[in-house]
Chain A
Amino acid sequence: MKAHVYKRKHINTDEIIPARYLTMDKEAELAKYAMEDIDTEFVNKVEAGDVIIAGENFGCGSSREHAVWALRGAGVKAVIADSFARIFYRNCINNGFLAIECQGVSELIESGSEVKIDLKNGLLSDLKSRKEYHFAPLPDFAQEMLDAGGLLNLITKK
């Protein structure tokens, strides 16, 4: 999985998926516009299974879950950020989409590096620099939701 690094703080959901696309709500449609207001080239660069690495407070602003869907639709496997805004983080967990908080990560990994995520041990490996970084494992309830494939699957199961 290749890392696309955006060091800036406070990348907001208006940038991840601008409101002009909010009459769509299917992942495949939204995917075409993912990150458009921050990087118009993103959708051409990203490949299935890649990850986004970002600075603090990623996903702040609007509660639009379309931000998560746009990223997942574009093939993004996980977002790893210094920190997350709360509604975006919730939306990730509720969708069974991987959001990993790893303080300082945006300064440690270079764009284009191949990375590996070991969820069980809370380890992020940079295959280029051969360095490893620790992150706190997901909370139990988040792991449970991830395993179930999201909040609604969990509710229907119960």
Chain B
Amino acid sequence: MGQTITEKILAKHSGRDSVKPGELVNAKLDLIMCHDVTTTPAIDMLKEHGITKVFDPEKIVIMPDHFVPNKDIKSAEMVRKIRLWAKEVGIEKFYELGNHGVCHALLPEQGHVKPSMTIVGADSHTCTHGALGAFSTGIGSTDLAASLATGELWFKVPPTILFNISGKLKDGVYAKDIILEIIRRIGVDGARYKAMEFKGEVIDALSIEARMTITNMAIEAGAKSGIIAADEKTLAYLKDRSEGDFEILQSDEDAVYEQQIDIDISDLEPMVAFPHLPDNGKAVSDIKEKIIIDQAYIGSCTNGRIEDLRVAAEYFKGQKVAKGTRCIVIPATTDIWKQANKEGLLDIFMEAGATVSSPTCGACLGGHMGVIAGGEKCISTTNRNFVGRMGSPDSEVYLASPATVAASAVNGYISDPRKAVGE
């Protein structure tokens, strides 16, 4: 019987020829990602249990990103604790301020992610890394502590839903719109406990960065993981970043999927997910009311990469952010920041009256650097619009692509990026 990529990866890492959905396996881990919020408690747990070593410092990467540059004394103490512990246990892959970035943008950018790996990260959007053909999933702090200590973790093999995406994207429509449409269709628990595998001519045509936007939001449908088989584009992406061998796995022709969902996106429009769930998507032309926004946010592990910034910058050329609207642009990593600077994108944003800051998860989770007040509305390229996600529980978050957010920033209200903006 054929197997999906996810089943093959899990079988291989648990010393089995094959596995079936529902089976419990203990899988060896190739890569463990830690950030500031969830790692500090894991360190305490290890110490409380007398565990003074990690299984393999080479396979552990630490990327403080949520509250960096540190927003207060407590967050500074958290990173300090991690810094000291990393030294104690000999972890050298620590991305300190100046080389920092939002972990799910930074991890693949720096060449840590390779096809067919098993990756865990103590952050729910760890599913992002499936864009390179890896099994990658988010865990909590106890799982993290166990992973760091043993290099293994228990998993229930997930059933896979196959999403076959066909057609051709229209101008002004992007990967973000595809994933918002998928989540709108299946709901925020439509893939609960499952693997989402994406394939088809549309996926083939997407860049690796755009594929990451899709797998990033698998968790927003409740999924354990999102995955896209590695192809020539993956190899090209890895060429200058990554060393060492890796295997490329494909799902078998006769692989068993729990469900196959075919979506033709030829008529897809730019999408906006309304408060307070990511599945509350509407096509932009169906928005009849004028939704005035207080803030527009461009950044995050979903849409803070260089291609996103290029798209957004086009809307700000020779334009101004609307009066009464604040616009924040946060390149997701230091290298993206530098590249955007080199290309003159940061000047374009600043000239338009947006502000550009250091890489951080910051405002996406209502942490710092752009928290919103009660009664305010923010349109954002991020992945969650839960109650209170970006600040006050009385605020509202609308999710959209960088194009839609940029167009809305210039107009001051939620706008169709396919129409002319500004004055």
Chain A residues within 8 Å of B, Cβ to Cβ: 9-10, 12, 14-15, 18-20, 22-25, 36-38, 56-57, 60-66, 68, 83, 85-87, 90-91, 94-95, 141, 150-153, 155-156
Contacts and interface: CB of A to CB of B under 8 A. Distances in A.
A75 B361 CA distance: 31
Given A57-B192, A85-B189, A156-B50, A63 B388 contact: no
Given A23-B78, A65-B140, 11 more contacts: A14-B366, A22-B367, A57-B188, A61-B219, A62-B365, A62-B384, A65-B142, A86-B222, A90-B139, A152-B49, A156-B51
Q: Which of A37, A61, A85, A153 has the most CB of B within 10 A?
A: A61
Interface stretch (B6-14, B145-153, B320-328): B145-153
B163 interface: no
B192 A61 contact: no
Given A60-B189, A86-B192, A156-B49, A14 B387 contact: yes
B187 to A, nearest CB: 9
B314 interface: no
A155 B50 CA distance: 12
Nearest to A154: B146
A82 to B, nearest CB: 10
B367 A152 contact: no
A65 B389 contact: no
Contact of B188 (A10, A18, A151, A156): A10
B24 A23 contact: no
10 tightest Cβ-Cβ pairs between the two chains A and B: A23-B74, A65-B140, A94-B142, A91-B140, A57-B189, A63-B124, A19-B365, A25-B41, A37-B388, A65-B141
B192 A85 contact: yes
Contact of A18 (B41, B75, B366): B366
B189 A56 contact: yes
Contact of B122 (A9, A22, A63, A155): A63
Contacts of A87: 124, 138-140
Given A85-B189, A86-B224, A61 B386 contact: yes
A64 B188 contact: no
Nearest to B122: A63
Nearest to A62: B124
Contacts, number: 125
Interface in B7-58: 24, 37-38, 40-41, 44-45, 48-51
Contacts of B41: 25, 65-66
Contacts of A61: 124, 219, 384, 386
A115 to B, nearest CB: 25
Contact of B222 (A64, A85, A151): A85
Contacts of A37: 387-388, 393
Contacts of A23: 67, 72, 74-75, 78
Interface residues of B, number: 49
Contact of A94 (B143, B366, B388): B143
Contacts of A19: 66, 365-367, 389
A152 B145 contact: yes
Contacts of A14: 365-366, 384, 386-389
B388 A15 contact: yes
Given A22-B37, A86-B222, A12 B367 contact: no
B366 A20 contact: yes
A64 B366 CA distance: 14
Contacts of B149: 152, 155
B193 to A, nearest CB: 5
8 contacts: A23-B78, A25-B41, A25-B141, A61-B386, A63-B123, A64-B37, A85-B189, A85-B192
A45 B2 CA distance: 53
B277 interface: yes
Contacts of A64: 37-38, 140
B38 A151 contact: no
Contacts of B51: 156
Q: Which of A20, A63, A83 has the most CB of B within 10 A?
A: A63
A86 B219 CA distance: 10
Contacts of A56: 189
B40 A25 contact: yes
B78 A60 contact: no
Contacts of B24: 141
A22 B35 CA distance: 12
B365 A63 contact: no
A22 B71 CA distance: 12
A94 B222 CA distance: 19
A85 B38 CA distance: 18
B154 interface: yes
